[in-house]
Structure 1
Amino acid sequence: MAGGQDLFDAIVMADDRFHGQGYQEGYEEGSSLGIIEGRQHGTLHGAKIGSEVGCYQGFAFAWRGLLRSHATGKDSKKMKVLESLLGMIENFPYDDPTYAKLHEDLDRIRGKFKQLCSLLNVQPDFKISVEGSGLSF
């Protein structure tokens, strides 16, 4: 009778056992895929941020060259804002994705860029697309 009881318990508990095994396999697979998906997501958004900040930096370098070659007394405020933008870009934590104020600093850079564009009387149109990014006027 004891053998029959064990057989009965094995049949009744099979559902629980298979449910537990399925859960464990699904959890392991989901964790693995989650890491892969997270890396892809982080790479994509990191590239977008890098492209945006790089565009701002190139814009600032170009205008610094133009303003230095044709400097007038009125351009001192423009140069001050431009140098401030370049300083912010230089101090931006490119290599630390866990930096707590990353988005806050990025917003400050965007604001300083808009201020510079206003002073220069330039209307930029920054776009990020699948083909690449660009800054047009």
Structure 2
Amino acid sequence: MDSTSSNLGDFLEESVLLDESQYQEGFKDGYRDGLVSGKEEGREVGLNTGFQVGEELGFYEGCIDVWNSVIQIDPEAFTSRVRKNIEQLEKLIDSYPLMEPENEDVQQMLENIRLKFRVVCANLRVKLEYEGQPSSSDKDTVAM
């Protein structure tokens, strides 16, 4: 092998090594930045989701408060079946683990609360639905 081909081989090898080192450096930078932005996005999603769940549970609690006020004023206003379903709904909401965000049962528990709420509403023959916080476009429409 002559010195020219040896120099060309060294040049190619250095070029490949430089390319690989730049790739590794870029990967490390991207990974580090991804961890930071992933945590920030995760925190934001968690905050929004927690707020939405709290708002929905608050809606159900408000309905229960109204129904319990009616029961205090007139215990015979609702059938015993309806009163029992209201009590069960209240217990479901009270048992919801607000301070345990990693509890794997929260989604099923929320579904059970929604189902029991629909049962109470059906027994009362009222149509109540939690529709969430209106979006900014909905607020503009209402204001007109």
Contact 2:71-2:78 at 8 Å conserved across structures: no
Tell me the SS of whatever aligns to 1:16.
Answer: helix
Deviation at 1:74, TM superposition (A): 5.4
Deviation at 1:121, TM superposition (A): 1.3
1:35 matched to 2:39: yes
Deviations 1:90-116 (A, max 9, x none): 110001111011110000000110111
Letter paired with 2:60? Y
Match of 2:139 in 1: none
Change (3 A) 1:24 1:64: same
Q: State the TM-score, normalizing by the size of structure 1.
A: 0.84
Contact 1:89-1:109 at 8 Å conserved across structures: yes
- How many residues are paired up? 129
The structure carrying a bigger strand percent of its residues is 1
Structure 2 unaligned runs (5+)?
Answer: 137-144
Match of 1:130 in 2: 135
Q: State the TM-score, normalizing by the size of structure 2.
A: 0.81
CA RMSD of aligned residues (A): 2.1
- Structure 1 runs, 4 residues or longer, greater than 4 Å off: none
Change (3 A) 1:18 1:78: same
Deviation at 1:57, TM superposition (A): 0.8
1:61 matched to 2:61: no
CA distance in 2, matches of 1:83, 1:49: 20
